[in-house]
Amino acid sequence: MIGGGRGAFIGGVHRIAAAMDGRAELVAGAFSSDAARSRASGADLFLDPSRVYGSYVEMAEAEAAMPPARRLDFVVIVTPNHQHFGPAKAFLEAGFNVVCDKPVTFDLAQARKLRAVVRRTGKVFVLTHNYTGNAMVKQARELVRDGTVGSVRKVVVEYPQGWLADAVERTGQKQASWRTDPARSGAAGCMGDIGTHAENLARYITGLEIDQLCADLSTFVRGRKLDDDGNVLVRYKGGAKGVLHASQICVGDENDLNIRVYGTKASLAWHQEHPNELVVKFADKPRQVWRRGNGYVGAAAKALTRIPAGHPEGYLEAFGNIYLEAFRAIEAEVEGRAIPRGLDFPTIDDGVEGMAFIEAVVRSSRLGARWVRPAAG
Amino acid sequence: MIGGGRGAFIGGVHRIAAAMDGRAELVAGAFSSDAARSRASGADLFLDPSRVYGSYVEMAEAEAAMPPARRLDFVVIVTPNHQHFGPAKAFLEAGFNVVCDKPVTFDLAQARKLRAVVRRTGKVFVLTHNYTGNAMVKQARELVRDGTVGSVRKVVVEYPQGWLADAVERTGQKQASWRTDPARSGAAGCMGDIGTHAENLARYITGLEIDQLCADLSTFVRGRKLDDDGNVLVRYKGGAKGVLHASQICVGDENDLNIRVYGTKASLAWHQEHPNELVVKFADKPRQVWRRGNGYVGAAAKALTRIPAGHPEGYLEAFGNIYLEAFRAIEAEVEGRAIPRGLDFPTIDDGVEGMAFIEAVVRSSRLGARWVRPAAG
Amino acid sequence: MIGGGRGAFIGGVHRIAAAMDGRAELVAGAFSSDAARSRASGADLFLDPSRVYGSYVEMAEAEAAMPPARRLDFVVIVTPNHQHFGPAKAFLEAGFNVVCDKPVTFDLAQARKLRAVVRRTGKVFVLTHNYTGNAMVKQARELVRDGTVGSVRKVVVEYPQGWLADAVERTGQKQASWRTDPARSGAAGCMGDIGTHAENLARYITGLEIDQLCADLSTFVRGRKLDDDGNVLVRYKGGAKGVLHASQICVGDENDLNIRVYGTKASLAWHQEHPNELVVKFADKPRQVWRRGNGYVGAAAKALTRIPAGHPEGYLEAFGNIYLEAFRAIEAEVEGRAIPRGLDFPTIDDGVEGMAFIEAVVRSSRLGARWVRPAAG
Amino acid sequence: MIGGGRGAFIGGVHRIAAAMDGRAELVAGAFSSDAARSRASGADLFLDPSRVYGSYVEMAEAEAAMPPARRLDFVVIVTPNHQHFGPAKAFLEAGFNVVCDKPVTFDLAQARKLRAVVRRTGKVFVLTHNYTGNAMVKQARELVRDGTVGSVRKVVVEYPQGWLADAVERTGQKQASWRTDPARSGAAGCMGDIGTHAENLARYITGLEIDQLCADLSTFVRGRKLDDDGNVLVRYKGGAKGVLHASQICVGDENDLNIRVYGTKASLAWHQEHPNELVVKFADKPRQVWRRGNGYVGAAAKALTRIPAGHPEGYLEAFGNIYLEAFRAIEAEVEGRAIPRGLDFPTIDDGVEGMAFIEAVVRSSRLGARWVRPAAG
């Protein structure tokens, strides 16, 4: 693991999610660019001190030099955005598979470069757009794919949070601090951190690609350098329309990512805070509530369910589902087998599309909220 | 009553709402431009045949000629949009108070003319933006006004319906037929019919005025002449931002008007389909659910409540609340008293603002979804 | 109207509900046993003073003496329980149809006597168990009757309120005062006032009759003379089991009547506070939410719907539905036609069953919560 | 781990829950009484084959003989009920701490014997009444303890499931098979399996002890030997009343454990299927929704939260919370320190109380649903 030391948030999430199903074990890490801090974090995690490193460079070298049986199978990158590219490239080139938190890189150019590295090395690269790991998100995608929804006309996706409604970054809160810093977060704040999850979720479920968008980003907290709110009109290729909005200043909202997909035959609604349910609406028959864990759900949702219906799975389980699917690729790669086709986890291509989305919303907003086209991947 | 004969929808709603509290009685009507049809509707309603008219012109003359004690106190106009202005003007000039369904007229120019008539005649003019009649909408406004919400930063207002997802108008359905006809509905379809409710609701609760908007209207049903869906970015005067979207093609959605108001101190959420509840969210204390009929609600919400908490009031009661408040003005006018100040019902000014909104969204959309400023009222 | 003067609650509800659809008009009343108070209430309601009476006896005589065309079509009794029997009998015998609030009488013996009067006079007698007027309650009954639910195994019906959690009756609050007084309310407090609604609702939907019950009634508020809470185990004829509990001391609960019916094939859930929805659950397919006003609902629910889906109807509309159905009988009676069969409103038979239920729960509880059989009607 | 091999349900849950926080590792097991099956399960779990045993007896001996550093710190028993006592006793006496699934033993007598063993050996014994591990359940307890709720008057606790609505046990389904078998499950079916969770939850939150109960158990599925449904009236010591019902025949209900606690000052409602929320109701102020992960929650809820508010935790995380708290005791015991006081996990005493509850409901029901007193622990 790169990053994720004391005081981090997403590092701990990755550790639980990756290990949840007994399929992976944390054995090494460079948890901080401060070597002492890295060692302390390694000790917290009961790691062998010899495999706790002071930098990712050192770690990549040392681990690559190990005999295959002891060597890492994959590395997880959970640093702030500006420190994704370096370790990702280093580990891929050192022969390791990589799991990386989103957004994939600092900017679009880096994402494209990283894509080239992934392609060249042939290693597995996994981007943890974790929300698509939810079983009922997979069910939603299946209901689009199997024609239940009909042709999609409208997509409304929202991601309101409230935790940055005040200038929390000035209190020294680590999470707030880097997320509001353009030098570490990139060109976008809110839209990079969570808007990109919303975009990914909509694309995952509907398969639609954005043709043009018109984005009005705002910074409501005085002195903040990046957007903390953004409203986006979307025109998808093929004629569907959309609204995407995300915010970190919605006081009292926690992590209320939600999506509604409206088709010619049926509509879908899913809320991340109640992830075990998917509402399906029809014109001429009763509304349906599909619930995780039941016999009637489709294959994709069924495959990624640990416990019976009514025993709620949550954020960590969905995150773990991304890992479960990724492990199928990683195991194949490690064992020298061909990576199975049709695996269902976000890849470098999703990363590039996400960065193109971020670049486009920032560009649109800087033009005064004009319509722009996201750059081709 | 003008309009609202057999086959109409909103006419019946007005009849129930106006009479609900025993404060008004229907005594006369021109229910259809077809005299026989008007008579039949009058008979359905147990009216004295001598006061059932074949046209509003005839009715205005005949009623104006009656002795004051028998004469109408007010007239209710529930015709399609293109037939609001004529009867409204006629009755105002004939000395009657007028209640008119929304949107107030066919276009903005007419609305301004009507405003001049209202001002000149000094009669009471009531526009039935009925959703603002809900007790918990009034509570929401109070929580903005009393500072609980703080300064408003963001407003999200949605009005998804699904009843026009197919070309219902081609089946002869009367409601669908005129609402999708530019000759009767005006320049906008969905945005005129329901988008304007959304705009009114947001303005009512927050007091914010739109500075600029950027609207992307769509017509999803082939052959339809007016928009059946619209997504709008909003910039309010003073710096708040907003998203407003409305649709008639959201399969399975019924009448799901809802609003969220995000302030610096607290946030509000209200859903028309569960109108007795108002959710208030804070950064640092538990979310609250305010419920109609309780002792803790404010004066405005308390005044417009008929039955105790937990005994749900609905759409008709909210509609009736508009009437209850309007009656205070109408009674004063009829009795020759000064109309009390501070009454809480939508007026011709709301109508003009609504038409300016409609005109602006149509203009913006025709420009390719560019930012435009609504015309000054 | 008998009772329902100033300060009353249910009288106003009846006035709105009965008049809502333009099918009835209030023309006379004895609103209080205090003649001056009755006159004042009559004036509030814009009644002709000559038809405002100082007692029901006077009113029955005077109205019976009127010519048929002017005479009342029916009388509504909204007095406290101990004053139901007298006016009901008087008006029935004077030739009037009667609508009476629940519970039907002071005790079971009176109810049986009243039934004899109803049968003898042949007049229409309507008992306003208003909750069964809800469209989605009718839908629930239809789903039991048409076999969707299969054979009913278990019924859970709850009616928690919180308004009597403190000794409100000692503050002079009129509603609390008579409801907690055995001389006016009868042998039961909570169970008579609302437990009987719960019993009626369960019977209406399922058609099941209680074979035996075991009731544990409590009085939590010190000094109160009647129960303010009761928990009842039920064994229905035919083998189904049930739980029924009602309370007036559930702090913060408003009027949360709700029922769940579990059958061999499907289960139903309905909540009075969200009356437009009915949840239907299956073993092997997605949960369904049936919503009032849609094309897919059955005939009974469809017939009693005023406004489209998504435009919520509430307590008053459901109450009005009882009247609408009753008017079909009353009109027939007034016009000398045979009363149509199959009308769907609560009758004197429901009243007798309700009193037998009240009598049984009180008897069971006095025996220390032993199993007892309700008396045969 | 004892039990929990292929085809088991709760074994996998324990493995995830215990390991989730990186504080425990599975190293040995006797997963089945069939040695080959046990080995196969051990292989599935990547265990060292030398520590996969054919019986718990063998395992207890072999593990006890290991040097302390390699030896187990605790054993987890996840066999059917009739096989709890044997391994629990064996491992306690061999010097190991024990985590055991509920209900603690086959019958009350065994539970008392086991308590004696626990007391004599001084080892840690943890009973996984997992639902009390939910953060918001802990918050509920805190709101009772700190006086927010006032004096508790009424408790309604429900546990409806639907998975045994048909004779699933006859299809060979392993979970159904032993749970409906008196030789393996004990004297109660539904009430032992889930009724006991309901009882434990109510006791945990309120601290109330049952004085008397009156239970009506049913077996709705023909041929089944144990109850699949039960309705219980409860009288708590000190005067509170309660209703407890549980069922496995509630078609379409999944795992809908829920509780409402009504006090003199406030009321609580918590639903297991939406575990991150706790509703708190008051007479005179807005209803509150307390949500896990917020700064305003109390110490107990705060301590057992892994991820921020709005990132839902579920069943596994709550289960893991029981382990986290138990580890504090186990670590102390293993390290030879005094076991800290005030730890918050279910113990052998909860187990004895649970068995006394089961014994009492069965006894009451056999008497025809008479009031009985649970045996003193």
Residue, of D33 and C281, whose pLDDT is higher: C281
Q: Roughly what angle, to the nearest 10 degrees, separates helices A85-93 and A56-64?
A: 10
* In a domain? residue A226: yes
Quote the pLDDT of residue C315: 98
Q: Do the chains contact at B289 and D286, CB–CB below 8 Å?
A: yes
Band of the pLDDT at B127, cuts 50, 70, 90?
Answer: very high
Enumerate residue ranges in chain A where pLDDT < 50: none
Q: Do the chains contact at B249 and A262, CB–CB below 8 Å?
A: yes
Quote the pLDDT of residue B69: 87
Q: Roughly what angle, to the nearest 10 degrees, separates helices B56-64 and B85-93?
A: 10
Chain C hits for D162, CB-CB cut-off 8 Å, are: 262, 267, 281, 283
Chain C hits for B316, CB-CB cut-off 8 Å, are: 20, 306-307, 313-314, 316-317
If you average pLDDT over residues D178-205, what whole number do you get? 96
Q: Do the chains contact at B287 and D289, CB–CB below 8 Å?
A: yes
* Option in C289, C291, C296 nearest A289 (CB): C289
If you average pLDDT over residues B352-358, what whole number do you get? 98
Same domain, A87 and A229: no
End-to-end CA distance of chain B: 28
Chain A hits for D327, CB-CB cut-off 8 Å, are: none
- The CATH number linked to A72 is 3.40.50.720
If you average pLDDT over residues C216-238, what whole number do you get? 98
Q: Which of D276, D25, D343 is nearest to D140 (CA)?
A: D276
Same domain, B209 and B86: no
Q: Do the chains contact at B12 and C306, CB–CB below 8 Å?
A: yes
* In a domain? residue A93: yes
Domains contained in chain B, number: 2
Q: Give the minimum alpha-carbon distance from B309 to chain D in angstroms, rounded to a whole number.
A: 11
Quote the pLDDT of residue B264: 98
Quote the pLDDT of residue C375: 95
Chain A hits for B158, CB-CB cut-off 8 Å, are: 156
* In a domain? residue A5: no
Same domain, A140 and A247: yes
Q: Do the chains contact at D22 and A313, CB–CB below 8 Å?
A: no
Quote the pLDDT of residue D9: 86
Where is average pLDDT lowest: C153-167, C309-323, D35-49, D360-374? D35-49
Contacts by C40-48 with C-beta closer than 8 Å and gap 24+?
A: C40/C5, C40/C6, C41/C4, C41/C5, C41/C6, C44/C6, C45/B22, C45/C15, C46/B22
- Take residue A267 and report the two structure tokens written for it: 């509509």
pLDDT of C244 above 80: yes
CB–CB of B34/B6 below 8 Å? Answer: no
Chain C hits for B290, CB-CB cut-off 8 Å, are: none
CB–CB of A51/A25 below 8 Å? Answer: no
Q: Mind listing the pLDDT tens digit for each residue in C24-60?
A: 999 999 999 889 999 999 999 999 999 999 999 999 9
CB–CB of D247/D228 below 8 Å? Answer: yes
Point out which residues pair with D246 in neighbouring strands: D159, D230
Same domain, C141 and C117: no
Same domain, D51 and D173: no
Q: How far is CA A250 from CA A273, B203, B242, B265, in A?
A: 15, 19, 12, 10
Same domain, D91 and D164: no
* In a domain? residue A110: yes
Same domain, A102 and A217: no
Same domain, C201 and C76: no
* In a domain? residue D332: no
> CA–CA separation, C105 vs A359, rounded Å?
74
Chain A hits for D275, CB-CB cut-off 8 Å, are: 312
Does B313 touch chain C if contact means CB atoms closer than 8 Å? Answer: yes
What is the ipTM for the molecules in this complex? Answer: 0.96
> CA–CA separation, A80 vs A102, rounded Å?
9
> CA–CA separation, C31 vs C2, rounded Å?
5
Q: Do the chains contact at D267 and C250, CB–CB below 8 Å?
A: yes
Does D313 touch chain C if contact means CB atoms closer than 8 Å? Answer: no
Q: Which of B111, B128, B167, B164 is nearest to B17 (CA)?
A: B128
Does C306 touch chain D if contact means CB atoms closer than 8 Å? Answer: no
Band of the pLDDT at B225, cuts 50, 70, 90?
Answer: very high
Chain C hits for B9, CB-CB cut-off 8 Å, are: 307-308
If you average pLDDT over residues C154-174, what whole number do you get? 96
Q: Do the chains contact at B218 and A241, CB–CB below 8 Å?
A: yes
* In a domain? residue A62: yes
Quote the pLDDT of residue D69: 87
Q: Is A337 exposed, middle or buried (0-12, 13-18, 19+ CB in 10 A)?
A: exposed
CB–CB of A154/A240 below 8 Å? Answer: yes
Q: Strand, helix or coil at C141?
A: helix
Q: Is B193 exposed, middle or buried (0-12, 13-18, 19+ CB in 10 A)?
A: buried
Domain of D187 in residue numbering reads as: 134-306+352-371
pLDDT of B377 above 80: no
- List, as ranges, residues 248-267 from D with C-beta within 8 Å of A: 253-256
Domain boundary among A93, A123, A153: A123
Bridging pattern class, strands B152-160 and B241-247: parallel
Band of the pLDDT at C68, cuts 50, 70, 90?
Answer: confident
Q: Strand, helix or coil at B99?
A: strand
Kind and range of the H or E element at C214? strand C210-218
CB–CB of D153/C229 below 8 Å? Answer: yes
Q: Order of strands across the sheet with A125-127?
A: A74-77, A97-100, A125-127
Does A199 touch chain B if contact means CB atoms closer than 8 Å? Answer: no
* Option in D284, D291, D296 nearest B295 (CB): D284
Residue of A nearest to C278 (CA): A286
Kind and range of the H or E element at C89? helix C85-93
Q: Which of A77, A91, A105, A21 is nearest to A307 (CA)?
A: A21
Domain boundary among D123, D152, D178: D123
Does B231 touch chain A if contact means CB atoms closer than 8 Å? Answer: yes
3-state secondary structure C249-317: CCCCCCCCCEEEEEECCEEEEEECCCCCEEEEEECCCCEEEEECCCCCCCHHHHHCCCCCCCCCCCHHH
Q: Count of alpha carbons within 13 Å of C332, Cβ hemisphere only?
A: 14
CB–CB of D278/D270 below 8 Å? Answer: yes
Residue of C nearest to D260 (CA): C250
> CA–CA separation, A218 vs A222, rounded Å?
11
Quote the pLDDT of residue A68: 87
Same domain, A182 and A287: yes
Chain C hits for B256, CB-CB cut-off 8 Å, are: 310
CB–CB of C79/C98 below 8 Å? Answer: no
Q: Do the chains contact at D287 and B284, CB–CB below 8 Å?
A: no
Contacts of A171 (CB under 8 A, 6+ apart): none
> CA–CA separation, C58 vs C60, rounded Å?
6
* In a domain? residue C206: yes
Which sign does the torsion angle of CA B111, B113, B119, B121 carry? negative
> Which of D279, D282, D294 to probe the B interface (max B CBs under 10 A)?
D294
Does B8 touch chain C if contact means CB atoms closer than 8 Å? Answer: no
For residue A117, give the amino acid letter: V
* In a domain? residue C345: no
Band of the pLDDT at C342, cuts 50, 70, 90?
Answer: confident
Does B220 touch chain A if contact means CB atoms closer than 8 Å? Answer: yes
Quote the pLDDT of residue B6: 85
Same domain, C299 and C203: yes
Same domain, C105 and C176: no
Chain C hits for D373, CB-CB cut-off 8 Å, are: none
> Which of B287, B289, B291 to probe the D interface (max D CBs under 10 A)?
B287
CB–CB of C161/B310 below 8 Å? Answer: yes
* Option in D280, D286, D296 nearest B296 (CB): D286
Q: Do the chains contact at A296 and C285, CB–CB below 8 Å?
A: yes
> CA–CA separation, B31 vs B16, rounded Å?
16
Phi and psi angles of residue A152, each rounded to the nearest 5 degrees, phi first: -75, 130
Q: Give the minimum alpha-carbon distance from B238 to chain C in angstroms, rounded to a whole number.
A: 34
Chain A hits for B370, CB-CB cut-off 8 Å, are: 370
Kind and range of the H or E element at C204? helix C196-206
Same domain, C221 and C290: yes
CB pairs under 8 A between A and D: 106
Residue of A nearest to D293 (CA): A254
Average pLDDT, chain C: 96
Kind and range of the H or E element at D102? none
If you average pLDDT over residues D233-249, what whole number do you get? 98
Q: Roughly what angle, to the nearest 10 degrees, separates helices B85-93 and B108-121?
A: 10
Q: Count of alpha carbons within 13 Å of B190, Cβ hemisphere only?
A: 32
Domain boundary among A81, A102, A123: A123
Q: Strand, helix or coil at B317?
A: helix
- Take residue B176 and report the two structure tokens written for it: 């669908």
Quote the pLDDT of residue A191: 98
- The CATH number linked to D166 is 3.30.360.10
CB–CB of A125/A92 below 8 Å? Answer: yes
CB–CB of D108/D375 below 8 Å? Answer: yes
Q: Mind listing the pLDDT tens digit for each residue in B319-354?
A: 999 999 999 999 999 999 999 988 999 999 999 999
> CA–CA separation, B295 vs C172, rounded Å?
17
> Which of A144, A148, A154, A164 to probe the B interface (max B CBs under 10 A)?
A154
| Neighbour count for residue A368 (Cβ, 10 Å) | 12
Point out which residues pair with C232 in neighbouring strands: C215, C244
Q: Do the chains contact at C254 and B308, CB–CB below 8 Å?
A: yes
Rg (C-alpha) for chain A, rounded Å, is: 20
CB–CB of D193/D179 below 8 Å? Answer: yes
Bridging pattern class, strands C258-263 and C152-160: antiparallel
